[in-house]
Chain A
Amino acid sequence: MRALFADRMRAVFVLLGSLLLLFVAWPLLRTVTASSPVVLWQTLLDEEVRNAILLTFYSSAVATVIAFVCGVPLAYLLARVDFPGKRLVEGVIDVPIVVPHSAAGIALLMTFGRRTLLGQAFGLFGLKFVSAAPGIVIAMLFVSLSFLVNAAREGFEAVDPRLERVARTLGASPWRAFWGVSFPLAWRSILSGMILMWARGLSEFGAVIILAYHPMVAPVLLYERFESFGLRYSRPVAALMILICLATFVVLRLTAGRKRGGA
């Protein structure tokens, strides 16, 4: 603690940094404390709110599972193999972070909309994306998959490739070497990537609202309450969401902390 104020320069830095911290913490705290616990509880009992929150959790979880199934193999390839166009692939994975999410929503609508080829193809299996839960899932998947792929890639990069080679010489097929050595060793990174992706998916608004205003996810519900009924009615919903997201964030930090502590 003392080291923070060791000299005048550091004291100034502490002051400047604190302003930024306050800027984040104050509004959050203000929102959470503005509604009494009783109001929060009542909000949670509101079926519309509860359904929206559950739908958000569920959709983001499905998106995370999809990203896990396809993204972990991709992350492994990016960590282990040098191939032409690798930089391009890495760039593509990062693109969702840079494009405005409403634009991502438009792009998805143009690809998975009712009249599009893919939209109709999936329609044959009874899967529709516009104004439906699958639309929410692909919107969340699109905007948050980078987090999982990048975390998993870093996880695999940290695993010495010689461990896999030794496993191979001991009789493991490439599959067994992956599941027995690389995956368990990269698991903590993959897990924290999954949590990060899931949390990011929860908060997605821009892409979701374009593909599926209904059924309503929590951020959209919040927006609608604000537009229709004003600040007073949207406040408890906002507080509830902030609390839930903070909780997931704490879980995330705990897993990351365990990783540093060593298994």
Chain B
Amino acid sequence: MREKPLRRFSSSLQAKSIVACQKSSRCQNHLQPSQGCGSVQVRDLGVDLKEFRLCDINLDVAEGEYFVILGPTGAGKTVLLETIAGLHRPLEGRILLAGEDITHAPPERRGIGFVYQDYALFPHLSVAGNIAFGLKLRKMGRGDIEERVAAIGRLLGIEHLFHRRPGTLSGGEAQRVALARALVVEPRLLLLDEPLSALDPETREGLQRELGRIHRELVTTTVHVTHDFEEAVALGDRIAVLREDRVGDSRREGRIVQVGTPEEIFRRPANEFVARFVGVRNIFRGEARPADDGYKLVSLDEVKIAAVTEFEGPVHVSIRPEEIVLSRKPLLSSARNAFRGRIVDISDRGTIVYITVRVPPDFVCMITRRSLEEMALGDGMGVHIAFKASAVHVF
């Protein structure tokens, strides 16, 4: 009964899926090449839970893409993911996975992996039992199950934990197990609900890189939800910003306000909300290489900046606007990074002024209004900027 309108709908989407399939050559899920991964389309989705509502959610996630949904804590990001997974019934709209309408399919038939912030491991099963859970439901042979569990264990480096109970694991270990449990069944889509938020900063950084590595290896289409902008920038091919509004006393309403690459989001925020949420900051993508004196040099557009970090290879760096010293003459100081540039924008925010200096790239510096007046700065003026290597955050 449902088949017919389905086919019609998916054929009308073919034009779009050509775009979506650009990445499909990357999409080689070596664990089960037959199934592969899928693009996701969310159309005019509305979800109404008692205390929370999502309206007009439209998303296009390409096959093999790492898509991040960014929003403040409590903005219904979890509800959105759970709806895509089939755990809430949408009020309106439809969800397509690999062109197939799954709006009304039960969660167990969707082939969507889910990882919660606090892991949600089965406490009555061992680590190996947790990972094998989905495979056992698929009535696989014992040998096959063991093989696959071992393979995913190797991928995530958790083989030594197999006999342990979830209660004895650290946060980072538990999240790896949760990830393994979701990935071992080779989902068409992987949903990550704030997977790093419950972890301490050090573990978080490690697991964040791990997520990137795993995605590069398996190329599973991934939708990752977070409130952390840097996490979104580091991992996301594209970012959707979800905004929450209060409606009446007790109800809240969530909407997508902007979708774009990380650069688009922070260079051209669509509105005040995004700008505020993202904050004014200097975020760049570059290549980190070791230098002689223990520093790393990160090459951006035309400059190399010194930073203190463990990371090498492609990285993001951020420098807080208040960490950058602005002067009209070159300064002799301890700051390892000093560049000459030209003022291209002055944005007056009352007592604080943001000044954009094009080196290139463009650095945003924060100074007080009084400094602006004393230094008599103006558009197009040549200036010097300086910041310490330790002020450069690499992620």
Contact indicator B167/A165 (Cβ below 8 Å): no
Assess whether B138 is in contact with A163, with CB atoms less than 8 Å apart.
no
| Residues 79-115 of chain B, each 1 if its beta carbon lies under 8 Å from chain A, else 0 | 0001001110000000000000000001110101110
Given A165-B85, A165-B107, A165-B114, A172-B137 contact (CB < 8 Å): yes
CB-based contact A168/B106 at 8 Å: yes
Shortest Cβ distance from B367 into chain A, in angstroms? 48
Which B residues are CB-close (under 8 A) to A166?
114, 116, 120, 122, 181
Query: Using Cβ atoms and an 8 Å threshold, which residues of chain A touch B137?
Result: 170-172, 176
Q: Taking CB as reference atom, which chain A residue is nearest B116? A: A162
B8 interface hit (Cβ, 8 Å): no
Q: Range of interface residues on chain B?
A: 20 to 34
Asked if A228 lies at the interface with its beta carbon under 8 angstroms from chain B, I say no
B72 in the interface (beta carbon within 8 A): no
Name the B residues within 8 Å of A167 (CB-CB): 122, 133
For the complex, what is the distance from the CA of A163 to the CA of B124, rounded to whole Å? 11
Secondary structure of the A contact surface, majority rule? helix
Asked if B122 contacts A165 (CB within 8 A), the reply is: no
How many angstroms between the C-alpha atoms of A160 and B124 in the bound complex?
Answer: 13
Looking at the assembled complex, report how far the CB atom of A175 sits from the nearest CB atom of chain B, in whole angstroms. 10
A170 touches B167 (CB 8 A): no
Contacts of A176 in B (CB 8 A): 137
Is A107 part of the binding interface, using a Cβ–Cβ cutoff of 8 Å? no
CB distance from B218 to the nearest CB of A (A): 17
**A184 close to chain B: CB less than 8 A:** yes
A170 touching B120, Cβ below 8 Å = no
Least CB separation from A82: chain B residue: B50
A contact residues around B106 at 8 Å (CB): 168, 173
Cross-chain contact of B185 among A162, A168, A171, A184 (Cβ < 8 A): A171
CA distance A169 to B106 in the complex (A): 9
Contacts of A185 in B (CB 8 A): 122-124
Q: Which residue of B lies closest to A169 (CB)?
A: B114
Contacts A160-B120, A172-B108, A263-B124 given; does A165 touch B134 at CB 8 Å: no
A188 to B39 CA separation, bound complex (whole angstroms): 43
Question: In the assembly, what is the distance between CA of A197 and CA of B86, in Å?
Answer: 38
Known A180-B133, A262-B167; contact A169-B107, beta-carbon cutoff 8 A: yes
Residue count of chain A within 8 Å CB distance of chain B: 19
Q: Are B116 and A169 in contact (CB under 8 A)?
A: no
Contact B108 A169 (CB under 8 A): yes
- Any chain A CB within 8 A of the CB of B150? no
Q: With both chains docked as a complex, state the minimum distance between the C-beta of B137 and any C-beta of chain A, in angstroms.
A: 4
**Quick check: is A181 within 8 A (CB to CB) of the other chain?**
yes
Any A CB within 8 A of the CB of B69: no
Give the CA-CA distance A83 to B138 in the complex, in Å: 33
A136 to chain B, nearest CB (A): 37
In the complex with contacts A162-B116, A165-B82, A165-B114, A171-B108 CB distance below 8 A: yes
- 8 cross-chain pairs, A with B, having the tightest CB-CB distances, nearest first: A170-B134, A168-B107, A171-B137, A169-B114, A162-B120, A171-B108, A166-B120, A165-B87
24 A–B contacts from the bound complex (CB under 8 Å):
A160-B120, A162-B116, A162-B120, A163-B120, A165-B82, A165-B87, A165-B120, A166-B116, A166-B122, A168-B106, A169-B87, A169-B110, A170-B108, A170-B113, A170-B181, A170-B185, A171-B108, A171-B137, A172-B137, A173-B108, A185-B123, A185-B124, A262-B167, A263-B124
User: Measuring CB to CB, which residues of chain B are less than 8 angstroms from any residue of chain A?
Assistant: 82, 85-87, 106-108, 110, 112-114, 116, 120, 122-124, 133-134, 137-138, 167, 181-182, 185, 187
The residues of A with any CB-CB pair to B shorter than 8 Å are 160, 162-163, 165-173, 176, 180-181, 184-185, 262-263
